[in-house]
Structure 1
Amino acid sequence: MKIKIISFCMFLSLITTTTKAQEWEFVGLDSMIIYALEVRGDTIWAGTRDLSINAKSGLYKSVNQGQSWVKIDSLFGNSSVGTFLIDKNNSSKIFILKKYYEAGYLYKTTNSGLSWDSIGTPFNTPIKDFIISPLYPDEYYVINQMRGHEGEVVQLFFKTTNGGNEWLYKCCPGQQEHGMVMNFAIDKINPNTIYVSGASAGEFFTRSINRGDTWDYLPGLELGRVFTDYFLQDRIYLVRYQELIYTNDGGLTWQNMEGEFSSSAIFFSFYQDERTSVLYTLSDEGLFYSENTNIFWRLIPGSENLPVIQPINYSSTIRNISTNNNFIYTGSASGIYRTDFITRVDDRTNDLIPAEFQLAQNYPNPFNPSTKISWQSPVSSWQTLKVYDVLGNEVATLVDEYREAGKYEIEFNVGQTISLSSGVYFYRLRAGNFTDIKKMILIR
């Protein structure tokens, strides 16, 4: 009997999550490259570029989860939208960067696109990217883009405190004749702090702790698209062409991030869910996720089959990942897709942190049509709870998400979720490095 149980457990351990494309649901905009994305409730905003003749590029909005779409920036023609920002407290207030190839101009609406106001840029030149200060609503930071003395691309960092009426040059070292490329981010924990990475006849990484008035040049020479963490002080991420690195000390030292991608993977986009702290990155090999504490990137099943986006250049920041309720959304080279790989059912039974892992026997057992399964985890981790038949076929996924340390309980209702015949079934918990399997009996 022991031999049979061990063999079955070994068989279950070989079962991997199905990686077919139908795990991902197409949401809309199939003729569009999606450069920017945000989802709130049933409403989706997408910054796009038309795949063919640029005839329909712009900022699109759907209020019914992608069933129908409206282009809300038609007043500006058909140029693409590389970056947009929606006010956290007022979704009718939107800033957009209308791009013409690599850079463009900044506009604002306060009525969901019925009318738009132009925002002045430094020297009336196009900008590559922008940030609105969370502390001061009329304080913006931009990287403008122009041509240097020998035709080289030159990107410079500017700040305004009066909504774009006046701009002050704030950063960084470099020589225009050698060109200059920059990327930047604002600290999410302390918005007075700004980070800039760049290159001009050599790489640099610099930090300002007073909103750009003075700068500290840090010893690491690192160029990449910059992202900061919602939860960890001094944690910064740099997304480079074929490399993900991070620092825990504000940029003094850097470490590589490892994962299930190959050494030739090309990274496009980076995102952190501010509710769960889970990190996501999109590459030409699929969409990957990781905890922000013990970083190791794992592939989200089926994402390797999505259409690969091709950015205009790899110094541009793409923001085409979003999470909402039970879904992850991602933009692609041909529309928007989503998956319910995560669910956010808050079914913790209490806030006490247990001392050990445990998967309990379901109750009642035997059952018809429903039973409850409880478990506990002493660590925060990505957790999966799945049900299998006696042949090892997966018949239900009850949990597949990042969860905090704690005790949990969930109901498995055959009558509501799936049609199963009488017999023996197995349920398996995976939490971090912990795995356990138990048997249950369904009587119809």
Structure 2
Amino acid sequence: MDEITNYPTLAKRFQIGDPLITQGMASIAAMLAEVATQVEVTTGESYLKARDVTVLADASVKGVLPFGRPCIAAITVKNGGDKLLKILGGRVLRDQNGRMWRVTTGAQVAAGATGSIIARQVELRTVTHTVAQNQPFYPVELAEPEIGYIAEVMVTGWEHAPEFCNVLDGDLVYHIQTDENQVISLVFGVTGLAGMQPATGTKLNISIYDTEGEISPSVGMAFYFEYTDATEKAAMTLAEVSQSGEAPMSITTMREICSFPGIYSENAVYRANFDFLVRRKLGAVTFLNVWNELKEESVRPASVENMNKLFVSVLKRGVTPEALQSEIRLIITTADNSYRIKFVEAIEKAVPLKLTLYVPSTYDSAATMQAVRALILDNYGRESDWAKRGEAKMLKKDIYDLLRQNVPALTQRVADISVDMIGDDTADLPEHFRYVTEESLEVFTETAN
């Protein structure tokens, strides 16, 4: 039924195309179309997190914080003075680009000698917050830095707890949370239940370390003390980068992290997947797989040495193997120190994949083949999300859906796809970093009539 006929005056203006009427109706129609699209997408959100805002909301619930990772470097120090040079932890340096660094491992360098220190690229800012009201789970929102990202937060006199589970009444702890807009807040406890809620008027001294994240320092880059005296004559240059700086986790990485069930947590009693724990703490990795003795003895002979042991195979750009292994060891032992840890070198392995495309005669077979090759390598190549997870399965139905949704020639009724071979007869080991290469991918085309 044409509802506008119930309003004769408006109907006449609509018939002559009055923009005051037609533009308003067009806006309403566009809004309803957008709402319909959102409803359709939301219907499948329980199974596939399609929207970025859903991924961000899920990440906030699972405690994935948008923290940056500071660059960590070894710096060579040459003492050109005639006195002993003492460089203590916490001292502030600046590089030749003006970025702030803080010494984490200091040194004492004799006159005329050369030493080494470790520093990370962070800048400290302090905030004093006065508690406005006495309320359970009192929140304190943290302002974003002018440049870069928050890397670490500490509250003087209070300890950080990843969650309020197993926190005793009266414990001085705080929790760090974020929302779907990636606004970071500190949350304090509830007196009489878990932790303690700060009283009205309490001053909270908050230390925030900011980092610029992904930077490109080069060997030989000069450093200098932010504050010094005339007796200190030090020449400092960058010797080695042990950990590259990183921006907060991308949406793509968050989507991978959030694919794990929500039951996995920081608590060793409930956690059943160390792969999730390590992946969440490390952020973006090139490859990671963590497995236990049961999986190990399914591919290699049993041994008493495998008892109560976790096996880790990992690749990550921008960090030395020693620093990476040390960080993973700390992550696992902090959660559960009853496990022994063994690192297994990752072995790269190309996955053979053979496809046959039945392309309608109205489409260019060569162009279709190139589009399919690019799509497969993007989704199953060395840099793909699929390759980052150890022992990931390549399913035929996923390949069919991927090609039909993204290659127009294969959406036609007469078009068809045949997955002739996935993998080969060789055994896959947990440490195999598997992906499709240009050489291992074979794509054939035939004309579909």
TM-score by length of 1: 0.25
Higher gyration radius (CA): 2
TM-score by length of 2: 0.25
Which is strand-richer, 1 or 2? 1
Which is helix-richer, 1 or 2? 2
